[in-house]
Structure 1
């Protein structure tokens, strides 16, 4: 490849759709034997992508786009089917959550900000691209594991008496984005002690 043709990859909506269309087609033709396209699949991807978009990208650039697309798809599958405490709008075909939940989720995983509006673009083609890829807690990113940890500890917060809407529950949403605060909370073994600690944290925050 000529050096003057090598440039930083720019992925707008059109080029992303073309990328997904070609990758899905190569998957159907048997050129994704493992988790990635085969050498033949990447070769055809480069040729077809250049023909349809006028852009010439390298294999590492396509591989980076494949990985980022897969991360987005895995996040959608996880939050759509496995995450607890979230709702579903059948009309808009998207995940529903309170503003506080969205703030916490997006803080932990910026990929999912777009899910507030609906599913990711090119979802059907992603289904084809990543079909047979097992998506579970080990497949999602470390940030998704953080979200799961927060979901778990917020259940414990409610169990100790800090109901949603209370100042103690609000305080927990501020504290538990940090691992050390979650660790401190778990050192307390009684519901009363945990609730008292959250109240003290709130009072300290008000004074300061």
Structure 2
């Protein structure tokens, strides 16, 4: 399939919509997400995509997003064309950068398309998690500085591997566990060990609750960000909505009017203009004129 700018805009909007709906439980869409994207893309373009095609496009878009983010980290101190949205540097700079960031040459003359939608799709899952903790990932990694040491007789000691694992993954503890005594006794098991003095291992409640508090704070931040984004989106006209109106005004799949609509309505102002027309006939005639303006009357 030839992924034109118009088709790319549509697929990115549809994928981002599924992320907003919660149909990306981990790093990929679930079955419902793939089905809805395929159905909506067919309705808007007349092209039927398989799950494999959608997944392959998702992977390629994620690679582009990662490359672009690495490039943007190098933007400081470089030339920048604000009109085109690209880095302006000489060929030698690009040759060196290409070695550090393979694939970045595609953005030498053209910026990343659909950056806002790609941020929704990959912004919270593209980190390598070396210095960021994502509590919503399928296998979250807690930074070491979130694990508090044990205290034995007032002396700090680093927990062993088994104890360390218990602290990291003790997220679903019951409330009654907080009511347990702070002091737990460690009883020797061997005959020789019974002669040793009793060792009291004190585990502060904070060691149990710190991870849960961090999760709660992270989830609250994510919820606030999602609510803010949704409120901004409510006032916008989506491609999906306007293409439904295109079909309703008589511009069927394969028609000149439907073809020009897929090109025009990647732009927000064109979508808004189209929906200001009061009748379906006026909308259809307007699409016909736009097609003739670009390609000439048939």
TM-score (norm 1): 0.54
- Could you tell me how far 1:114 is from its partner in structure 2? 3.2
- Could you tell me how far 1:135 is from its partner in structure 2? 2.9
For residues 55 and 98 of structure 1, what CA distance do their matches in structure 2 show?
A: 41
Structure showing greater Rg? 2
Q: Which moved more, 1:115-124 or 1:88-97?
A: 88-97
- Could you tell me how far 1:101 is from its partner in structure 2? 1.7
For residues 81 and 93 of structure 2, what CA distance do their matches in structure 1 show?
A: 19
Is it true that 1:91 corresponds to 2:82 in the alignment? Answer: yes
- Ranges in structure 2 where 5+ consecutive residues have no aligned partner: 131-298
Q: Find the counterpart in structure 1 of residue 118 from structure 2.
A: 126
Q: Name the SS of the counterpart of 2:87 in structure 1.
A: strand
Higher relative contact order (CA 8 A, sep 6+): 1
Residues 108 and 78 of structure 1: CA distance in aligned 2, closer, same or farther (over 3 Å): closer
For residues 32 and 20 of structure 1, what CA distance do their matches in structure 2 show?
A: 14
Greater fraction of residues in helix: 1
How many equivalent pairs are there? 129
Q: Find the counterpart in structure 1 of residue 150 from structure 2.
A: none
Is it true that 1:58 corresponds to 2:58 in the alignment? Answer: no
For residues 98 and 54 of structure 1, what CA distance do their matches in structure 2 show?
A: 43
For residues 112 and 74 of structure 1, what CA distance do their matches in structure 2 show?
A: 10
Work out whether residues 70 and 130 of structure 1, in 8 Å CA contact, stay in contact via their aligned partners in 2. yes
Q: Find the counterpart in structure 2 of residue 22 from structure 1.
A: 14
Once the two structures are superposed, the pairs formed by residues 128-167 of structure 1 within 5 Å of their partners are 128-136=120-128
Residues 127 and 88 of structure 1: CA distance in aligned 2, closer, same or farther (over 3 Å): farther
Work out whether residues 18 and 33 of structure 2, in 8 Å CA contact, stay in contact via their aligned partners in 1. yes
For residues 39 and 28 of structure 2, what CA distance do their matches in structure 1 show?
A: 17
> What RMSD, in angstroms, separates the aligned Cα atoms of the two structures?
2.5
- Ranges in structure 1 where 5+ consecutive residues have no aligned partner: 1-8, 139-208
